[in-house]
Structure formats: C-alpha cells, structure tokens
Structure 1
Amino acid sequence: MRYTVDEVFIGTVRLLSADGERSGIFKAPADGPVMLTPTGLAGDEQADLRHHGGPDKALHHFPVEHYALLAAEWPHCADSVGAGFLGENLSTHGLTEHELCIGDVLSIGAARVQVSQTRSPCWKIDLRVKAEGASRFVEAAGITGWYYRVLQPGLIGAGDVLELIERPNPWLTLAHYWESVTAHRPEPGMLRRIAMAPGLAADKAKRWAERADWLESASA
C-alpha cells in the first residue's frame, strides 16, 4: 500500500469565535519539509492540550475527498472547504478509513508512524464550517480522519510516499472501529477485542474495556 502526501499543514493558535475561543484548527501548507517529533510537527500548535496533541495524537490525517460530502451538505461553504480546512496535518487522495487499520505502521519520508485512533469530532467543526450539526454529520458519516503516534522522528513533506510497513490488526479498519465504538449498544466481546488491539491509544483501550464491563453488568 503506497500513497502520496499531497500537502503537509502546520499552524499557530488563533481566534476561532467572537466569544474569545481560540483554536489550532487553522493550518497552512508548509513551505518545505517539516520535522515530525514524538509530540507533533515543528511549528504546529494546539490550543486545548487536554483534547488535542500529545504522543497519541501527534499527527492528524484527513482525506481530502471527505470535503466533497461537507460541501454537498452545506453549499454555503463549498468554496471554503478543502485540504487543511479542519486542522489536519496530512492531506492525501485515495486513502480513507476503509483502507487503514488501528495499529498500522507506516513510513512517511524519514519518519515512521503508527495509527493510534480516530479523530473524535467536536463542536469546533461547527464553528469552522459555520453550520450547526456539522460535527454530528462528520460523526454519523464516519469521515473522522485519524491520528498517528510517532515511532521514528524525521522530516516529512509534500510529495513523500506514505507506505504500509506492518499491519497487526487486519480485521480492525478505522471504519469498523468507528462503527463499533459508536454503536448504541455494542457487543461487549467486540469492545474487549478492540481494547486489546496492539497500537490502540491507551486511553481508548481503557475506555472500551470499561464500557464492555458496564454493558455486561447492565445486562446481568
């Protein structure tokens, strides 16, 4: 599996709303190769470090083709949405949640990364798109994008090849993962299997194991 990185995006924290809300969702294409470190790209910032950034969310990838769905749903933003609009660091064509699995290890330029989790859409997407319900639409459509942890730091840039190296969980595509964990009453056994998947972010593994416990106790 080989895909080409169309663009790499970085950005600083800026004002998102008139209420004073600040965000790192605003990104611009990098001028050249950027150093990818265990906590993210050099020069890239996040405002809410509780929910964004950190080792298990070091690099955010969002497929550019997902923007066509947003533009079709909200025509008023059709001229605005496009690569980088929702704060992603990597943009590609052809690689979606159906092609990647939790735990996949990939090379990008001089770096090596691992898929750690999907992105959880939040209300800031509503503000960015200027449409109430945009985050719920992204969630329901499963067009979340995903995060990588960094296994080997290195320079990455537009034009680099994104190549699969290892796949420890071929049964757990990101699409299957998202459908399973967002189900109204998921099957506890599936949640436990997901929680044990190598490469899944530790906080997510703990959450799904605990939810499996709760579902089993509630049905006892």
Structure 2
Amino acid sequence: MKILLIEDDKKIADYVVKGFSEAGHVCDHLENGSDGLSQGTRERYDIIIADRMLPGLDGLSMVKALRAAGTKTPVIFLTSVSGVDDRVQGLEAGGDDYLVKPFAFSELAARVAALARRPAMQEQETVLRVHDLELDLIRRRVTRAGKEIDLQPKEFLLLETLMRAEGRVLTRTMLLEAVWDFHFDPQTSVVETHVSRLRAKIDKPFDVPLLHTVRSTGYSIHAPR
C-alpha cells in the first residue's frame, strides 16, 4: 500500500512512517499542507493521512482543494482537534475518517486497512441517471436537463449515495454512515442541512421534484411516477 502522511510533528511522523514501513507499506512524509496538495494531486496514493494544523496550508483547506481537483484518495484526519463540530468540519471538507491524538498505531493501521478495503468504483457505473439528472463520477460533474449544477464535495457524495439507491428510502442513520462515515449520532443537523442545500440546487430551479422526504423515515430520489 502507498500512503502519504502530511504531519509537521516530526516525532509523530517518524512513529507513523516506521510503523507502516515495518508492515511492508510505502509511506511518504511531508510537513507542509501546500506540498501535500501538490503531491496528492500529482501522484497516486491509496490513503492520505493529514494533520489539520499544518503550515503553508491547513489540513481542511488542503483536502477541500484535493477534492476540487478531482482527487478521490481516501483521507484520514489525524489531529488533536476533537470536538464533534470539528469532526463534522473535517468530514464535510472531504475527509473519510477522523482519528484524534494521542492515538494507538494499531487503531490507525486498522482504519487505513478498512478504507483500503472499500470496493473500487465499477467502470460501468461512471454516470448515474435519474430522470433528467445526471451525475458523472469521473468528471465529478452534475447536470440536470443539460444545465450544469455546482455541488460541494459532501453534496456530491450525498447525491451519489441517493442516486445509487434510486427509488429506495435511505434513513438519516444510513446517510450518516454512507456519506460522513459516522457510526454514531453526532447530534447535529448535518444530514438535514445538506439535503436542504442539495434540494435547492437540483430541484427548486426545475419543474419536477426528484428528491423526496419520507416523513419520519428518511429521503429518496426517484423519477416522476
């Protein structure tokens, strides 16, 4: 496995690099967020591990820029910032997991392995369609009735999750797990907020609504019936 570690604490970085090297993995290390952005977009990695507090470019901004550039490499935030809102910010920025310092290397390695086991995108599923709404997974582009729609990374992933389950109702818990990788209730309105933003972009400018709220259950996207 090829891993990119972006961490400005040398002691922690040496510890992590040593652990992954002993496990037979390649672990490149950078100390600066700007360098991490350049390396992460230029080279292919299986996993990126990034601190939030980085010189040059902070971790949140770096990951947002990576996602905007089309880099889909899973990202684990490794940070001392531990509040629920901080975790939500990290995941909304495009992170896939969040591990708080101090940490056990065994847990970090397990989280890296779990992300690496996620199934690769199948080639035939590069474009998802529901009625006149299209989501291009390769170009990271969304259109409806030929009109391009600008989505933030988590809005894009939320829409992708709903479109893959076309016609089925996804609960709030299912969306928290699929989009934000939460396996607990963070007691925030992150799902409702993102659904509202998504609806404003893909439905409100058009005559036919596609994204539906199923009272006391969850959300579903489907063509007109």
Same fold by TM (over 0.5)?
no
Larger of the two Rg values belongs to structure = 2
Say which structure, 1 or 2, has more relative contact order (CA 8 Å, 6+ apart): 1
The TM-score, its normalising length taken from structure 2, stands at 0.29
The TM-score, its normalising length taken from structure 1, stands at 0.30
